[in-house]
Amino acid sequence: MKGFWKKRKVLITGINGFVGANLAKSLVHQGASVYGLIRNYNPYSFLYFEKINKKTTLINGDITDFNLIKRIIVEEGIQHVFHLAAQVEVGTALEYPYLTWESNIRGTYTLLEAIREVEMNVKSIIIASSDKAYGSYPVEQLPYKESYPLKPEYPYDVSKACGDLIAQTYCSKEINLPVIITRFANIYGPGQLNFSALVPDCIRSALGHSTFIPRTNGEHHRDFLFINDVVDLYVLMAKKLSNDKSLNGQIFNAGSNDPIHIKSLIIKIFKLVMDPEAFTNFKRNIKFPNSKIHGEILFQQMDFKKISNSFKWSPQTQINEGIKLSIEWYKKFLIN
């Protein structure tokens, strides 16, 4: 499998997003010809910051544009697809569900239907679902296992679950596209510019570029994954799926199986960034609202035995190390 990616034609939807840009960087380094769909130009994206844009072919357009997607797959002879484009902000989804349904549900079936229709012998299609698709389970039933029924409640979570179920249809015997569906925990690390996500929000504030206002009482728990672990996994999954039909239609969780108390994570990040005196002041003054969180799941924890057995994968980056690496990246990024 050495040199597997050399000259392979890969399409990444959402390439100027956080995960897409990091994945593009890795695939470009491994010699792939990377094509990326971009809806919103963002000059601050990791893609431009790391100058990966110059080593990829970028195509403007929307994931719901059926003819465009068909044209890209046929004209570029795409062999591998990573579907990452999505409206990912939980708050935006609560406010504008329609936009979220369009990108996350219609976007997913548009892509899969386009691939089905062109009959181009695409070798692997990785569809990013999410841990949010499971919805809320009692703590005693956690961690989530792939066999658990999806029972989401909130708009973002429902949109990911719908895309997930639609993708399952496309790898059924009747249609038989080579699809793997991923349900990953919260991802963090260099290049994450969604500052409504906790880790970037805290690091930016701790570095003095904004004021941190806790949105919630911090009494919820989340499972986290560092971006490099996710990228390694995506690359590995697509490679194996191309040669192993038994992986077709499989669903995989990934996470740490070690959920973190959100209030403790906030304190940890500020402690890692600030000098002792500033940190003491921060701790004295921070006020978490008493109100319960609204529109979000309270406790998430991922079982990753299945992915570990199939790919010999386990997360390599512990949270302290991942946060330190992230802080170093945001220091460079935020002074630009």
Ligand X SMILES: NC(=O)c1ccc[n+]([C@@H]2O[C@H](COP(=O)([O-])OP(=O)(O)OC[C@H]3O[C@@H](n4cnc5c(N)ncnc54)[C@H](O)[C@@H]3O)[C@@H](O)[C@H]2O)c1
Catalytic residues: 156
Contacts by residues 108-113 (CB-CB < 8 Å, ≥ 24 positions apart):
108/83, 108/162, 108/163, 108/166, 108/167, 109/166, 110/63, 110/64, 110/65, 110/66, 110/69, 111/13, 111/63, 111/69, 111/81, 111/83, 112/166, 112/167, 112/170, 112/177, 112/179, 113/66
Report the SS3 class of residue 57: strand
Least distance between ligand X and beta carbon 283 (Å): 27
Nearer to ligand X, 176 or 318 (CB): 318
Least distance between ligand X and beta carbon 149 (Å): 19
Q: Which amino acid makes up residue 158?
A: V
Nearer to ligand X, 128 or 202 (CB): 128
Distance CA 272, CA 201 (A): 14
Report the SS3 class of residue 305: helix
Closest CA to 177 of 218, 222, 126, 129: 126
Q: Which stretch binds ligand X (CB under 6 A): 18-26, 118-126, 214-222, 251-259?
A: 18-26
Nearer to ligand X, 186 or 242 (CB): 186
Pick out residues in 100-119 that bind ligand X (CB under 6 A). Answer: 103, 107
Least distance between ligand X and beta carbon 127 (Å): 8
Least distance between ligand X and beta carbon 276 (Å): 31
Nearer to ligand X, 69 or 177 (CB): 69
Q: Which of 184, 226, 311, 330 binds ligand X (CB under 6 A)?
A: 184
If binding is defined by CB under 6 A, does position 40 make contact with ligand X?
Answer: yes
Distance CA 249, CA 246 (A): 8
Q: Are residues 104 and 163 in contact, defined by beta-carbon separation less than 8 angstroms?
A: yes
Q: Which stretch binds ligand X (CB under 6 A): 83-91, 234-242, 251-259, 317-325?
A: 83-91
User: Using only C-alpha atoms, what is the Rg of the chain?
Assistant: 20
Pick out residues in 44-73 that bind ligand X (CB under 6 A). Answer: 62-64
Distance CA 140, CA 157 (A): 21
If binding is defined by CB under 6 A, does position 326 make contact with ligand X?
Answer: no
Binding-residue pattern over the window 210 to 249 for ligand X, x denoting contact by CB under 6 A:
----------------------------------------
Question: What Cα–Cα distance (Å) separates residue 52 from each residue in 138, 239, 303?
Answer: 43, 21, 33
* CA 62, 122, 255, 298 torsion-angle sign: positive
If binding is defined by CB under 6 A, does position 12 make contact with ligand X?
Answer: no
Least distance between ligand X and beta carbon 172 (Å): 22
Query: Where do contacts with ligand X occur on this chain (CB under 6 A)?
Result: 14, 16-20, 37, 39-40, 62-64, 84-88, 103, 107, 128, 130, 160, 184, 186-187, 194
